[in-house]
Amino acid sequence: MTFCRYLHNFLFTTERNELFKIQDISTQNFSQYFTSFENVQTTLYQIYDLSMTKTNVLLDKNVITRICNRLLNATYIDVYAIGIDDIIGKQLVYRLQSLGLLTTLHDTFNQKYVKNTSKNNVSIVICLNASQLQIYEITEYLLQNHIYTVSLMGSHHQQLLNMNQDSLLFYTPENQDMDGLIEVFSAEYVINLIYAILKGRKENNMNK
């Protein structure tokens, strides 16, 4: 069994209620844990564990399968990421390009491009910060032009969730003081998950 297939089977056969048994750490006053090198190591490990565990609970296998199908069959993939979201956008574009999928990162919005783009394109909008109002406007315009749009977003962005056809949710705490560290960890995990699934499917197709 390949690693990608093992990862896929493990993530989606684990009972969701079991995932919540992780020991939570406070997402406020993080500096209290950073009193020594050993404490920093332990705390970062717990943050990674917390981010992945709670993100797994938010992910829907059917939605992920549908998104992966659309990505593999897309004429082109457009990723929209503004501000700090650009960090995640660049990683996603790199992963998809590594699989041979035609992908571009946009940090600005061109309405004429959208109007003339193929309806077989896939757009992915990334939202770490709910205050990024421009991403809502971009999403609305994409949907008005009948572009299949996926949101990669934090779990508290209900407005964006209601707008999109499909969404990839990752865990974000309601309050934290780590400058978006948990959001970044969680979003990176979703990107790596999508990459591993797509890579496994492409390799299986080549071996047939």
Q: Exposure pattern of 103-140 as b/e (b: 16+ CB <10 Å)?
A: bebbeeeeeeebeebeeebbbbbbbbbbebeebbebbe
pLDDT in tens, 21-55: 444 555 556 666 677 888 888 888 888 888 899 99
Q: 78 - beta bridge partners?
A: 104, 123
- C-alpha to C-alpha distances, 3 to 9, 45, 143, 193, nearest whole angstrom: 10, 22, 36, 12
Is the pLDDT confidence value at 16 over 50? no
Report residue 157 CA to chain centroid gap.
Answer: 13
> Closest by alpha carbon to 151, among 72, 75, 58?
58
Coil, strand or helix at 77: strand
**What pLDDT was estimated at residue 50?**
86
pLDDT in tens, 121-163: 999 999 886 556 788 889 999 999 999 999 998 877 666 667 7
Determine contact, residues 96/122, Cβ cutoff 8 Å. Answer: no
Is the pLDDT confidence value at 15 over 50? no
Q: In whole angstroms, what is the distance from residue 205 CA to residue 186 CA?
A: 29
Phi-psi region of 138 (alpha: psi -120 to 50; beta: other; left: phi over 0): alpha
- Please give the structure tokens belonging to residue 24: 């939570």
The pTM of the full predicted model, rounded to 2 decimals, is 0.81
Q: What share of the chain in percent tops pLDDT 70?
A: 77
